[in-house]
Amino acid sequence: MRVRLLLAAAAALTTTVLVACGSPGAQDDTPQDDEPADELTVLVSASPSATGLRELATEYTAETGVTIEFVEVPTAQLPTKIILAVQSGQQTFDLAQFDGFTMPQIAAASALLPLDDFLGEDDEYDYADFPEGLQEYAKQDGTTYGLPLSTEPVVQLYRTDLYQQLGLQPATTWDEVVGNADALSAAGHYGWASAYGPAVSAHYYNQMLYSSGGRLLDPESYEPQFDTDINRQVMERFLSLVEYTPESSRTGASADMINAFSQLQVGQLTAASGWYSTVADPSQSAVAETFGVADLPMESGGPYDSINVLNGWLLGISPSSPHQQAAWDFAAWALGKDNVKAFIDAGAPPPARTSTTTNDDYTTQLPYLTAVGTAAETGAPIERIPETAQIISVISQTINSMATGQLSLDEGMAKIQDDLTNILVQAGRYGG
Amino acid sequence: MSAAPPAGAVDVHRPGRADTTPPARRPRLVASLRALGYVSPIWVFVLAVGIVPTGYAVWMSLTEQTLTAPYPAFVGLDNYVQAVFTAQFAGALGVTLIFVLAGLITQFVVGYLLAVCLHQQLRGFRIARTILLIPMLLTPAVVGLTWNFMFNPDLGVVQAIQGVFGIHANWLADPTLARLLVVMVDSWMNVPFVMLLVAAGMTSLPEEPIEAAAIDGAGWWKTTRYVVLPMLRPVLVITLLVRCVDIARIFDHIFTTTQGGPGTATQSVTLEAYNSTFQFFQFGHGAAIALALALIMFPVYFLYVRLTKI
């Protein structure tokens, strides 16, 4: 009898707790009443952009008396922290740095405050100074969720000393990239470096695909495109460059690739422009004085426009922050026109305002800014759907399998097509 | 002869009383309630750290919980169909089993041999024991990152050593070597644990059977095989079960050394659950994968409980 009683009590308690746990409170979408702020908390990830923000924060505190507290989170955990903080109803941050690539997930979880009203009312921030492509980059389904903290389209980095020795020119097409890789390799150097690792390789394949007029998914129907000629040709070319790549990049991440370029005899690579400051820093790079920057190679002939893939950090505001106006004031001030130089001096890639990328002083200091300006005008992000992270993961793992000889090109392409179809059908985004 | 009512019993025949409790029940009830008061803290603890989280995980695995559907909808076994009964899960399970088998063999052979050496109490054994225990005290993520750098195919020390012998192998690009690397990292960290338990077991063994075996002419191997190992069996089995469960949950070393690669060659079930939950935010899938692993490991838990008589 006692056992039964105990069991019944335990069951009742468990059920109650489970029901309570299973019924999350409704997300309060109404704007919070603003309280006067004497401190703001900003979630950041270690990056030159975060360093730039930190340096500006000191000046902001001196001017306004508002203290800016920075909480550093590993890049991969940023979306999780932002989402869980807001969904749990615990106010742990007022502002957060996030990657445009993760915006679909964060916005779908209602973990970011729409900023369109603030933008409409703040003339000083001058949002019209940003190219339209970049304004689109900060939007999800037509709503702006972040202010551009950095603009990092893909640029080409090459070794000026090696190119001079061998009489090479920076490539303007992907065929020329392969040609340069051949010449560099014949001279005993690494002809190429791209990260073919299981977590990131899809990003580098995408650079080549989108700039060759291909897409991962059909923009209208979301049908995976890995059974098309253009995707196959690009994949074949992408994998053909593995033999010119240092071993550490064949299985590594972006940092391994940049490390290889900075420390080894690698002739060329393409990377997000944000890596420029790392390669140009003599304390981290042996090639700081001997590398140049050029536009991303482009190919025509694909079914879609050939474009540069836009990357970059955004700065958003928590919908549960009690200091939303104060958070906006800091963000708009820090990322305003007057502080561009402070970002550049801190080694951070600045947000690509038109007034920045056309400023001679700035482009002299950061030679890649001209290429950034072009890319910001014409570039676009990859597909912005919540399944993107899963799609990137599947493609990256499969590319890594092909790059390390576990799968043939045919097997790999078929696997990606099947896996992506399953993901999109399960999500109800594609009819199959 | 009439029995006197027990102390504290209530006279149910007294007029005006509606209490029908039998005479002997009330003290028992009071005693039971008192006992319940004593055990309730542990029940609350068990509920809080065991039953509720497990129940919540079961609930999550039966509902669709994603970022776009934060209000859970009951979907029955759909999450299991989509995330567990798949070739991908089977592959991850296979990888996990490889880690468990290879890890157990490595850690027990090396751990046992080290324990034997320690048991001999040769000169300097105390210093050796301290040094051997250091890996166990380190943070798994730091260990993983260190090994990853050591095995960097361009700049790592292992590459340099291999080069001296004319060997060229990229440990992170070859599926077999990458799995071996994960097993090595895990073993390096956990051999001291096995060594410690086995060495402790050895100190409690009686000397007589070992001396008798020696008098009978048994060599080291026969003594070990027929005398020492049977006597150590309880310690070995418990250690084996603990390590088995631990290796099945392997995550940090993979995450920091191979990231599941090359391809999915080192993608364990826990990494799969992590990706589903924290990378793709498919909480239902993640819960289903984690529970499937728990169910698969259930016989091991059962054995552990039986053997330790908890």
B-chain residues within 8 Å CB-CB of A77?
A: 278
pLDDT at residue B309, as a whole number: 67
Compute how many other C-beta atoms are within 10 angstroms of the C-beta atom of residue B139. Answer: 10
Distance CA B291, CA B83 (A): 11
Pairing relationship of beta strands A147-148 and A313-317 according to DSSP bridges: antiparallel
Residue with more model confidence, B66 or A418: A418
Q: Which of B44, B72, B40, B68 is nearest to B57 (CA)?
A: B72
Compute how many other C-beta atoms are within 10 angstroms of the C-beta atom of residue B307. Answer: 12
Number of A–B residue contacts, CB under 8 Å: 120
Residue contact A251–B275, C-beta within 8 A:
no
Distance CA B99, CA B26 (A): 58
Task: Name the closest residue on chain B to residue A256, using Cα atoms.
Answer: B152
pLDDT tens for A98-155 read 998 899 989 988 999 999 999 998 888 999 999 988 999 999 999 999 999 999 989 9
For chain A, the domains span 39-152+311-378, 154-309+387-426
pLDDT at residue B1, as a whole number: 40
- Least confident among B37-41, B50-54, B119-123: B119-123
**Three-class DSSP category at B64:** strand
Selecting from B67, B70, B82 the residue whose C-beta is nearest the C-beta of A386 gives: B67
Element (H, E) at A156: strand A154-159
Nearest CA-CA distance, residue B56 and chain A, Å? 6
Nearest CA-CA distance, residue A398 and chain B, Å? 6
Residue contact B262–A404, C-beta within 8 A:
yes
For chain B, the domains span 1-61, 78-308
pLDDT tens for B190-200 read 999 999 999 99
Residue contact A248–B153, C-beta within 8 A:
yes
pLDDT at residue A11, as a whole number: 42
Distance CA A332, CA A53 (A): 12
B-chain residues within 8 Å CB-CB of A108?
A: 67-68
Dihedrals phi, psi of A200, to nearest 5 degrees: -130, -10
B-chain residues within 8 Å CB-CB of A13?
A: 47
pLDDT at residue B22, as a whole number: 59
For residue B30, how many C-alpha atoms fall within 13 Å in the half-sphere facing its CB?
7
pLDDT at residue A376, as a whole number: 85
pLDDT at residue A12, as a whole number: 40
* A154-309+387-426: CATH, from 3.40.50.150, 3.30.1050.10, 3.40.50.300, 3.40.190.10: 3.40.190.10
- What are the beta bridge partners of residue A158? A268, A292
Dihedrals phi, psi of B162, to nearest 5 degrees: -60, -40
Return the DSSP state at B47.
I
CATH of domain A39-152+311-378: 3.40.190.10
Instruction: Answer whether residue B278 shows pLDDT above 90.
Output: no
B-chain residues within 8 Å CB-CB of A401?
A: 262-264
pLDDT at residue B3, as a whole number: 43
Copy the structure tokens of residue A194.
């791209």
The tens place of each residue's pLDDT in chain A, 432 residues long, gives 444 444 444 444 443 333 334 333 334 444 455 667 789 999 999 888 998 999 999 999 999 999 999 999 988 889 988 988 887 777 789 999 999 889 998 998 899 999 999 999 888 899 999 998 899 999 999 999 999 999 998 999 999 999 999 999 999 999 999 999 999 999 999 999 999 999 999 999 999 999 999 999 999 999 999 999 999 999 999 999 999 999 999 999 999 999 999 998 899 999 998 899 899 999 999 999 999 999 999 999 899 999 999 989 999 999 999 999 999 999 999 999 999 998 888 888 899 999 999 999 999 888 889 888 888 888 888 888 989 989 999 999 999 999 999 999 999 999 999 999 999 998 899 987
pLDDT at residue A80, as a whole number: 87
Task: Name the closest residue on chain B to residue A388, using Cα atoms.
Answer: B280
Same fold, A39-152+311-378 and A154-309+387-426: yes
At the topology level of CATH, where does B78-308 sit?
A: MetI-like fold (1.10.3720)
Whether residue A398 lies within 8 A of chain B, CB to CB, comes out as yes
Copy the structure tokens of residue A88.
């749990």
Return the DSSP state at A224.
B
Q: Is the confidence metric ipTM above 0.85 for this complex?
A: no
- Least confident among A23-32, B25-34, B142-151, B264-273: A23-32
Nearest CA-CA distance, residue B222 and chain A, Å? 45
**pLDDT averaged over chain B?**
88
Q: What is the CA radius of gyration of chain B?
A: 28
Dihedrals phi, psi of B165, to nearest 5 degrees: -95, 10
Return all residues near B60 (Cβ < 8 A) that are at least 6 apart: B72, B283, B284, B286, B287
Residue contact A198–B259, C-beta within 8 A:
yes
Which of A393-402, B37-46, B219-228 has the highest average model confidence (pLDDT)?
A: A393-402
